[in-house]
Amino acid sequence: MLQVINPATGKLVREVAAATADDIDRVMERSETAYRAWRHTTFNERAKVLRDVAQYMRDHIETLAPLMTEEMGKPKKEALGEVTKAAWCADHYAAHAESYLANDELASDASHSYVRYLPLGPVLGVLPWNAPFWLAFRFCAPALMAGNTCVMKHDPHVPACAEAIAELFDQVGAPANIMQNLPLATPDVAQAIADKRIRGVSFTGSDRAGAKVASMAAAAIKPAVLELGGSDPVIVLADANLDEAAEAITTSRIINAGQSCIAAKRIIVEAPVYDDFLARLEQRLRKLTLGDPAREDTDVGPIARDDLRQNLHRQVTETIEQGARCVIGGEMPDGAGYYYPVTLLADVEPHMTAACEETFGPVAVVLKAENADQALTIANDTEYGLAASIWTTAERGEMLSLQMEAGQVVVNGLVKTDPRLPSGGIKRSGYGRELGPHGIHAFVNAQQVWIGPKQD
């Protein structure tokens, strides 16, 4: 039985029966059957389904968004924004899939030779709790527009979100079973990956879990896309606009209570502006409201689970014991729910816990660098390589970005995911890309076509 605890209250709100082995088999068979018809639909037919789903989400945003607030504690204003962004993703692929998958004409000794992109079959999406709607559509919108069908194994802590996402397709009259919800207990994911009807696996989550999924997919000789954790650096150099940097970094660090893979995790500031920038960051962090995520004026909601909160507090405590200075926050609050205060740790060194481990919560970790070269060395000194950002002049930032070891680099802006641009990591942050034209190519057959007669 999958149990859902409201992180704002610590109380049980829902229990959902986990899928059995027979349930898995039925879902896979339905997905395979649906694929046989869906693969032959036109781009226009697929696009209509995605556009209808997007419009349904916008029309029912007030009932969909609260599911995230209840199950994983996302503040109301962020939950509303997430539904809107998921709808944008569906609309984007409805509009651009055909051009993204256009044939590539390649000259050879054939009379005509090219590469075309065909669907693979049912694709399994193994998704986390921190952005239930957005991550579901980041997975399913390109896969469906490519002609695949989708089986969604969502996180056990957001079953109502998962059910609602699958039901969107039923509500708009989409062909049956092109997008199905499979409420699996974690140990049963292996059976789903190994099922011969699944042709690819998309996974978002921790690097530890991603390593297991990767090995399972490789054993079954199936393509996989892995979007894993990050210890994302942001560099602030002395020639940066400090107010703009402080504003963007504050947003990046506390969105979704800091529970985001691409959040600014390590803030590396050049020595001449270190104290000035720290004061600006502190000023903004102190203004944030921690509280009930159902309230529209709440900036920071609870941590999704108590075990995650306990681990976050361990990281903060160890870092302070190692010599960091706690400017604000850092104390476990009393009362119901899994809240953790907005925390600012200054004078952090690269060897300290909060600089070495991924912190998943509203904890800003600030390090000092003597110059740009040292800042880059600190930034790249991590097993992860998901996203990074740098604040300096635009020309200098573009030049320095060449040295940043990350799948996504932003100069003078907020690191975010965008349907128009590919997203993904290197090193222990995963492989493959989602979103943009690259994302829709993750689960297709790049089929070479050679038509004779042979030419001299």
> Which residue range is the domain that position 400 belongs to?
233-418
Q: What is the pLDDT of residues 326-380, one digit of tens each?
A: 999 999 999 999 999 999 999 999 999 999 999 999 999 999 999 999 999 999 9
Which pLDDT score is estimated for 315? 98
Q: Tell me whether residue 456 is in a domain.
A: no
Within a domain: 349: yes
Q: Are residue 53 and residue 75 in the same domain, yes or no?
A: yes
Q: Cis omega before residue 175 (within 30°)?
A: no
Structure confidence by residue, pLDDT tens digits, 23-72: 999 999 999 999 999 999 999 999 999 999 999 999 999 999 999 999 99
User: What does the pLDDT read at residue 211?
Assistant: 97
**Residue 423, domain member (yes or no):** no
**Positive or negative, the Cα torsion across 415, 417, 423, 424?**
positive
User: Are 213 and 244 within one domain?
Assistant: no
What are the tens digits of pLDDT across the range 230-252?
999 999 999 999 999 999 999 99
- Mean pLDDT of the residues in the chain: 97
- Assigned domain for 136 exists: yes
pLDDT of residue 64: 98
- Burial label for 202, CB within 10 Å (0-12, 13-18, 19+), is buried
In 335-416, DSSP assigns E strands to: 343-348, 363-369, 384-385, 387-391, 408-411
Section 412-431 average pLDDT: 97
**Residue of 150, 161, 261, 356 with catalytic role:** 261
Identify whether residues 220 and 273 lie together within a single domain.
Answer: no
pLDDT at 115: 98
Which of 71, 82, 227, 270 is the catalytic position?
227
Give the confidence band of 152 by pLDDT, cuts at 50, 70, 90. very high
227 tagged catalytic: yes
Does the pLDDT of residue 1 top 90, yes or no? no
Please report the pLDDT score of residue 15 as a whole number: 93
Q: Element (H or E) spanning 162, and its range?
A: helix 159-171
- Phi and psi torsions of 452, nearest 5°: -85, 180
pLDDT digit string, tens, across residues 93-150: 999 999 999 999 999 999 999 999 999 999 999 999 999 999 999 999 999 999 999 9
Is residue 382's pLDDT more than 90? yes
In this prediction the pTM is 0.96
Residues 151 and 250 in one domain: no
For tokens 């009393």, the residue is 334
Instruction: Judge if 179 and 215 occupy the same domain.
Output: yes
Residue 125 belongs to domain with CATH number:
3.40.605.10
Query: In this prediction, what percent of the chain has a pLDDT beyond 70?
Result: 100
Report how many domains make up the chain. Answer: 2
Is pLDDT of 456 > 90? no
Average pLDDT over residues 419-439: 97
Backbone angles phi, psi at 116, to 5 degrees: -120, 160
Give residue 234's pLDDT: 98
Same domain, 435 and 410: no
